[in-house]
Structure 1
Amino acid sequence: MAQRLATFLDGATRTLDVAIYDLRLEESPANTLMNSFASAVKRGVVVRLMFNQDHAQTIPVPPPPEIDWGFVERLRAAGVSVKPVPGVPDLMHHKYVVRDGLSVLTGSTNWTNDSWNREENVMLTIESTEIAADFALNFQGLWDKPVVATSGHFSAPWRSLGDGTRVRPYFCPGRSLKLVHAMSRSIASAERRIRVCSPVITSGPILGSLAEACAAQKVDIAGVYDATQMDEVQHQWAANGGSAWKIGAFKSVIAAARWGAKRSTPYAVGSVHDFMHAKILVADEYVYVGSFNLSHSGESNAENVIQVESQAIADICASYIDRVAARYGGAALPVTP
């Protein structure tokens, strides 16, 4: 993973804008990225790094970042401009890079050793000046005013890539309601399959649409989540009368479809981070992928999601979700004759 990311960074000729939630690298991966950033600055590339500084939640869903300030200072000394974004009360949860205003790397992957070696994550690159401009607008807004609540307040249209694939970015919190309702509509209108891959599933509209789709039993539904984090969430729901209905909805969803559930290590400072961390929703030929957990709290965070309309990409993502689900107790994959 470090080498793939370094290769993307090494391709920069003018600018690199990085927004990352958790930055904590050790040994070889740290040196690999440090060399890429230092080389970029020496080539005259303007490099900016933005990251989440604090965490407000008492129960770690998502787990709080543990920023390596020593690494940040090494980057600053090498000529990288750095800016912490206060994560109180909501998180700067992005994980993306905009390169030269031409391409974007984004997904669910934090920049930590555990993220790259112990967690399930997804990363994608998009070559598009229009998509890069959308992400650059989001980045510049947070850079100029590092307040999560004011970010992402613009609508990006559908864009066509060079091969005809249609993609559309969403940014939260500004367009979080549009995002969750788009996801809910895709679930409700699916005719063949729904695949879900998320550490937690707590967004009311999404959970409700999944429950209705499961009850209707008209499409093939399966997925995977992080069992440890969902246990913590259900304790929260039980203590909150307004959210108690979600317990029954969630139980009905996991009882009616094929689900894998990763029993990850409970969060503690200094503990292993081995969460099921990928974030993907597939509904027929539509794919949603990015930093956004399918969560209520995610609606208030600074997040990004790419919606993709592509049968081929949907097939790839659905196959990935099925493999991860099978790894953690979901139904076995069908055997190809």
Structure 2
Amino acid sequence: MTASVEVTFLQDGAQPAEQVAGELVAFIGAAQHSLDIAIYDLNLTGAPADQLRAAVKAATSRGVAIRLLYNVDFPNPIPVPPPSQADTGFIASLGVESKPISGVPDLMHHKYIVRDAASADPWVWTGSTNWTNDSWTREENVILKLPSTDLAAEYARNFAELWATGRVEGTGKYDLASVALTYRGSPVRAHVLFSPGRGRQMAHLIADKIAHAKRRIRVCSPVITAGVVLGTLGDLTHSPHPEFKGVYDRTQMAEVLGQWRVDPHAGWKGPAFLAVSTTLPFASKVTTPYTPTSVHDFMHAKITVVDNTVMTGSYNLSHAGEDNAENLLVLDSAPLADLFVNFVDSVFARYAQPSLVARK
């Protein structure tokens, strides 16, 4: 039987960190030859840290070659969402090859693993979740596990670029063909894009899909700051449109609005976002303002669904994300689209409340 795409959704307060760690440990435990890991934020404590360390050491002991990339250094003003601070001491304790990727000026924002890329049974782990206790217990996130020789080769190519250069700039400058997968016996067409090389294309692809939607649209993102996406959503407010629901992080968008008010180049975006978020059916999660020691309970899932197409991965609907190292997975599948719609609708129902404009 052909292996199926696997999807896990995380909700705030719905699962212990040990459960998610167990899923990651099982993925690592199946490795036979290689693991290439690109993780933006790795900062685990307690039992989940012990679980991951033990799994990595066990893989190393059976001859699995492991390399790990992580993001470091961001001297500029804190962006929204804020940058990570990977636990370099914990990374060193894993005893594997590791390399910091400078997040200056743009972040290494991936959260993927390529497992056994050159074997007969390669898999990719990707999605929106970082490897932290709060990411696994207090945030909305999605994890995808993809069995595919072609996708593994594409993610491996991206990893190799980052590993060789040690920098975000210049990576992802290629156009990749769609590949065939299955989800519970149904066919899936999958396509991945990497930024910064195809960052502008990511934003325009999502906007174009929304503009040509026939039946349904779901938007779930911590922030919505990409101009082309904001403009397309604005067009929906002036004409009949398919069924729509959206979710964002209210606290983070309030911070963004404050930044836009003093940015002469983004003056149009604040009114545009307020018009979109108050005219279209949006829900928003009130989260804890960021500090290094605060709980990180962001609405962190990055999902757009248009008709039977799912677009998800590490990419926020943000202008800054176009220049980061990100991946956007495009999945054409009615059953997967239904699954993701149900998740977004559950998040929408949980956080439905008066719009952001009421807080002005």
Task: Say which of 94, 102, 124 aligns to 1:86.
Answer: 102
CA contact (8 A) 1:224 1:330 kept: no
Deviations 1:266-297 (A, max 9, x none): 00121110000000001111110000000000
CA contact (8 A) 1:195 1:282 kept: yes
* Cα distance in 2 for residues equivalent to 1:221 and 1:82: 43
Residue of structure 2 in register with 1:316 after alignment: 339
Residue of structure 1 in register with 2:253 after alignment: 230
Residue of structure 1 in register with 2:74 after alignment: 55
Identity over the aligned pairs, expressed in percent? Answer: 48
Does residue 28 of structure 2 align to residue 9 of structure 1?
Answer: yes
Residue of structure 1 in register with 2:292 after alignment: 269
Residue of structure 2 in register with 1:195 after alignment: 218
Describe the SS at the equivalent of 1:36: helix
Q: How does 1:174-193 map to 2 (within 5 A)?
A: 174-193=197-216
Does residue 61 of structure 2 align to residue 39 of structure 1?
Answer: no
Deviations 1:56-91 (A, max 9, x none): 442341222121122011012xxx100000101000
* Cα distance in 2 for residues equivalent to 1:131 and 1:330: 39
Deviations 1:173-226 (A, max 9, x none): 000111111111100000111100000000001111111123223211111100
Does residue 239 of structure 2 align to residue 216 of structure 1?
Answer: yes
- Residue-pair matches, total: 328
* Cα distance in 1 for residues equivalent to 2:236 and 2:65: 48
Task: Say which of 70, 75, 79 aligns to 2:94.
Answer: 75
Aligned Cα root-mean-square deviation (Å): 1.2
Deviation at 1:330, TM superposition (A): 5.3
* Cα distance in 1 for residues equivalent to 2:252 and 2:75: 17
* Cα distance in 2 for residues equivalent to 1:46 and 1:92: 22
Deviation at 1:247, TM superposition (A): 1.1
The amino acid across from 1:27 in the alignment is: G
Does residue 173 of structure 2 align to residue 153 of structure 1?
Answer: yes
Residue of structure 1 in register with 2:187 after alignment: 164
* Cα distance in 2 for residues equivalent to 1:60 and 1:2: 28
CA contact (8 A) 2:187 2:333 kept: no
Task: Say which of 268, 274, 290 aligns to 1:245.
Answer: 268
Residue of structure 2 in register with 1:141 after alignment: 161
CA contact (8 A) 1:18 1:98 kept: yes
The amino acid across from 1:256 in the alignment is: T
Deviation at 1:156, TM superposition (A): 1.1
Residue of structure 2 in register with 1:283 after alignment: 306
Residue of structure 1 in register with 2:326 after alignment: 303
CA contact (8 A) 1:197 1:321 kept: yes
* Cα distance in 2 for residues equivalent to 1:237 and 1:151: 29
Q: TM-score of the superposition, structure 2-length normalised?
A: 0.89
Deviation at 1:107, TM superposition (A): 0.3
The amino acid across from 1:236 in the alignment is: Q
* Cα distance in 2 for residues equivalent to 1:39 and 1:314: 37
* Cα distance in 2 for residues equivalent to 1:103 and 1:136: 11
Deviations 1:84-120 (A, max 9, x none): 0010100000000000011100000000000001111
Describe the SS at the equivalent of 2:109: coil
Does residue 150 of structure 2 align to residue 127 of structure 1?
Answer: no
Runs of 4+ residues over 2 Å off in structure 1: none
CA contact (8 A) 2:229 2:317 kept: yes
Deviation at 1:238, TM superposition (A): 0.9
| Structure 1 residue ranges without an equivalent (≥5) | 332-337
* Cα distance in 1 for residues equivalent to 2:351 and 2:181: 35
CA contact (8 A) 1:59 1:232 kept: no
CA contact (8 A) 2:45 2:133 kept: yes
* Cα distance in 1 for residues equivalent to 2:353 and 2:339: 18
* Cα distance in 1 for residues equivalent to 2:318 and 2:228: 10
The amino acid across from 2:193 in the alignment is: Y
| Structure 2 residue ranges without an equivalent (≥5) | 1-19, 355-360
* Cα distance in 2 for residues equivalent to 1:330 and 1:187: 24
Residue of structure 2 in register with 1:334 after alignment: none
Deviation at 1:23, TM superposition (A): 0.6
* Cα distance in 2 for residues equivalent to 1:328 and 1:285: 24
The amino acid across from 1:96 in the alignment is: Y
Q: TM-score of the superposition, structure 1-length normalised?
A: 0.95
